[in-house]
Structure 1
Amino acid sequence: MSFTFPSGLGNQPAPLLSGKPRALGRGKRLVVTGVVIALGLALTIRIATSGAINWSVVRSFSFHAAILDGLWMTLELTALSMVIGVVLGTLLAVMAISRYPAVKAASRLYVWLFRGTPLLVQLIFWFNIALVFPVIGIGLWQIPINSLVTPFAAALLGLGLNEAAYMAEIVRAGINSVDKGQSEAAVSVGLTDTQVMSHIVLPQALKVITPPTANQTIGMLKNTSLVSVIGAQELLTKTEDIYARNFQVIELLIVASLWYLALTTVASGFQYWLEHRLGDGSAPNLALKVEVQS
């Protein structure tokens, strides 16, 4: 059996399929948008008018003193944990590019350990650290660990040390993004390794480091809710304490969710502004300028 192609057809290359999807027409976009909005409104109205949620409870507890206290601790934990994570993560990143194998191995071991185990497990571990080290001190001067590692301290240790492992990778990526020729030029004019890192490499790496760090901060805001398992009095723990007494579980969880949404929305807006500022070239020019004086 043979096939005969029309004249000239067999010599023509097959048309290439474009990988770019065709844009929807204006009418189709309006229809899709209208359907999505209608479904969203229908779901919202259904929930709001179902009668299953007592919205007066939501309003009355949104600015309750206990909720605001928990909100303040959430902000404290977020800020302090990120400070620990950024500082320790930067140190670990510098260690990871060290010329000494033992230092490099120590950094990799830390990152492997803290990234490889769940944050919840780490929080519970630090809260129960007294089972491993009941006291700390030398000779007659000894202090019970339980008096030092309070729920807040355990939460700070768990969140901060875990965050450091992730920040180490972020900072290391930022350092590696800087042209190595700049470091070599700085060394050639007599700068020490510490001066090169602090004055040349890290300032330029900030453009790469800052956006993911802002994203980690948003994640930290939500991760603080995990410390409720060890009794730290942050937003979710305060919420649980209240609904354990009045049994308004869903209403109090809505209150907590609204506050988390408010915080992450503000943080996301700041992140968007920061990324836009860094991306459009309006950030300070941190290029290396080495002047050789004769």
Structure 2
Amino acid sequence: MEYSFDWSTVVRGWPYLAQGMAMTLFLVVVAMVLGIVIGTLLAMARMFGPKSVQMLAGGYVNLFRSVPLILTIFWFYFLMPPVLRLLTGDPHLTVGAIYSALAAFTLAESAYYCEIMRAGIGSVRGGQMQAAQSVGLTRWQSLRFVILPQAFRNMTPSLINQTVALLKDTSLVYVISLNDFLGAASKLGQRDGRLVEMYLFVAAVYLALCTLGVWLVNYLQKRRGLAET
């Protein structure tokens, strides 16, 4: 049976799709920034902290890298409200879908960013730390002003790769009815009976965004290779 495509749904529903895309990009940007900050702290704790701190940070990373992301979202959306009500004594306390998604993405992604940071810091020559300390800098000053700037430059392609993966993972928020790009497209497709067109359009948009990310990674790696020659 032939299928007659009708793309007018995409045109008519574009304002609603734009709102969904805005939510997706908001989740990506906030989770990326907070994830990198927390991931950097975790990486330094695992590499330079006391043994007990290293074990705690390692346990955190292993936990969130082992648990499926969708389960982490469920934790914050369904389990955190009862826990917070018990702790605060407020029977009406709730955790919204946006805050649940942000918490889940931030904590989960920080575990992945931590391992990227560790690799980036490890890629800096060991003598850099000793050289920085020999001119009077403390260990933390050496990390901040000497090691981390070089490490961030080395691991930028890996950070972009992980952010591309985060972009795709944001589609999981449909399980808590958060209106992201995919959720908005699904609702429009169901309303107009044009799910095929909407899903093809969403796939094309994600493909374009991910392709842009891959191109940027390749470009940065090429520039780095030319700089090292």
TM-score scaled by length of structure 2: 0.91
SS in 1 for 2:227: coil
- Post-superposition Cα deviations, 1:3-43, rounded to whole Å, max 9, x if no partner, equal xxxxxxxxxxxxxxxxxxxxxxxxxxxxxxxxxxxxxxxxx
Task: Give how far 1:272 is off.
Answer: 2.5
1:233 corresponding residue in structure 2: 179
1:222 corresponding residue in structure 2: 168
Aligned-partner Cα distance in 1 for 2:76–2:10: 36
Aligned-pair Cα RMSD in Å:
2.1
Aligned-partner Cα distance in 2 for 1:245–1:272: 40
2:212 corresponding residue in structure 1: 266
Aligned-partner Cα distance in 1 for 2:49–2:177: 43
2:15 corresponding residue in structure 1: 65
Q: Tell me which stretches of 4 or more aligned residues in structure 1 moved more than 6 Å.
A: none
Among 164, 168, 172, the residue aligned to 2:114 = 168
Q: Is the 8 A contact 2:6 2:194 kept in 1?
A: no
1:17 corresponding residue in structure 2: none
Counterpart of 2:47 in structure 1: which amino acid? Answer: I
Aligned-partner Cα distance in 1 for 2:114–2:49: 17
Larger mean Cα displacement after TM superposition, 149-158 or 180-189: 180-189
SS in 2 for 1:79: helix
1:116 corresponding residue in structure 2: 66
Aligned-partner Cα distance in 1 for 2:30–2:220: 21
SS in 1 for 2:48: coil
Larger mean Cα displacement after TM superposition, 245-254 or 87-96: 245-254
Unaligned runs of 5+ in 2: none
Q: Which has the higher contact order (CA 8 A, sep 6+)?
A: 2
Q: Is the 8 A contact 1:57 1:251 kept in 2?
A: no
5 Å-filtered alignment, 1:54-203, equals 54-57=5-8, 59-61=10-12, 64-128=14-78, 129-134=80-85, 137=88, 144-146=92-94, 149-203=95-149
Aligned-partner Cα distance in 2 for 1:231–1:75: 17
SS in 1 for 2:133: helix
Aligned-partner Cα distance in 1 for 2:167–2:189: 22
Cα pair distance change 1:135/1:231, threshold 3 Å: farther
Q: Is the 8 A contact 1:89 1:166 kept in 2?
A: yes
- Post-superposition Cα deviations, 1:239-280, rounded to whole Å, max 9, x if no partner, equal 122223222221111121122122222222322222222221
SS in 1 for 2:7: helix
Aligned-partner Cα distance in 1 for 2:221–2:69: 28
Task: Give how far 1:182 is off.
Answer: 1.6
Cα pair distance change 1:81/1:99, threshold 3 Å: closer
Task: Give how far 1:136 is off.
Answer: 5.8
- Post-superposition Cα deviations, 1:152-183, rounded to whole Å, max 9, x if no partner, equal 11111111111100010010011112222221
TM-score scaled by length of structure 1: 0.72
Task: Give how far 1:118 is off.
Answer: 0.3
Task: Give how far 1:114 is off.
Answer: 0.3
Unaligned runs of 5+ in 1: 1-49, 283-294
Counterpart of 2:129 in structure 1: which amino acid? Answer: S
1:248 corresponding residue in structure 2: 194
Larger mean Cα displacement after TM superposition, 261-270 or 74-83: 261-270
User: Which one has a bigger Cα radius of gyration?
Assistant: 1
Task: Give how far 1:208 is off.
Answer: 2.5
Q: Is the 8 A contact 2:77 2:100 kept in 1?
A: yes
Aligned-partner Cα distance in 2 for 1:191–1:276: 33
1:39 corresponding residue in structure 2: none
Aligned-partner Cα distance in 2 for 1:143–1:66: 34
Counterpart of 2:83 in structure 1: which amino acid? Answer: V
Counterpart of 2:29 in structure 1: which amino acid? Answer: A
